[in-house]
Amino acid sequence: MAAIAIIDYGMGNLHSVSKAVERLGHEAIITADPNTILAAAGAILPGVGAFGDAISSLKESGLDAIVMQYAQSGKPLLGICLGMQLLFTQSEEHGIHQGLNLLPGKVVRFTGDYKVPHMGWNKLMFKHQENRLFKGLEEGHVYFVHSYHVVTDREEDLLATTDYYQQVTAIVGHQQVYGMQFHPEKSGELGMQLLANFIALCEEAK
């Protein structure tokens, strides 16, 4: 079974993600050790909090370089919530902050006469049903909590969207780098199925 590294840089929902991976029958290793991360069949970058604090924590620990090295290895990497946003070029959350730039795009605040944060269950709409992440799945509802959202530079990176007074980026992917704006581990059956399909990609890449 694939061993999945849950990258611990001090700002993630580590244990709920770890438990979800274990419920799917795989080993989850919560770790900040570069060698352990690089040896894993798959890696998950979680995230809760502010973009600037998160990218600073990654850089101070040296894990920013490890995440980028991991992504370049060709093994699957998944960013969850803030972890997905960190994969992009830049964020405007509380000032301008540079991200990991593994995917081109920017993180912007919701603006409009509606409730922010976007919080609750919203339906996913698959834009690239043929992507292996969606194998055997049907569109359904998942759980979001966020005040900022991603605007991708490449249309082909946008794998799924949801609607919250506008089209909102929900799942992104390019080659073996993926991101989910929602929390799959808190999103019922569909969230767990998406996580299982990601781990299946990790098995294939071993």
Catalytic, out of 26, 146, 149, 185: 185
User: Phi/psi of residue 79, each to 5°?
Assistant: -95, 135
Distance (Å, whole) CA 18 – CA 4: 9
Which is nearest to 107 in space by CA: 123, 84, 126, 131? 84
Confirm whether 185 is a catalytic residue. Answer: yes
Distance (Å, whole) CA 173 – CA 156: 8
Which is nearest to 180 in space by CA: 193, 164, 166, 195? 195
Catalytic, out of 97, 146, 183, 202: 183
Confirm whether 81 is a catalytic residue. Answer: yes
- Hey, what are 43's tokens? 């890696």
Catalytic, out of 81, 97, 146, 149: 81
Q: Which residues are catalytic?
A: 81, 183, 185
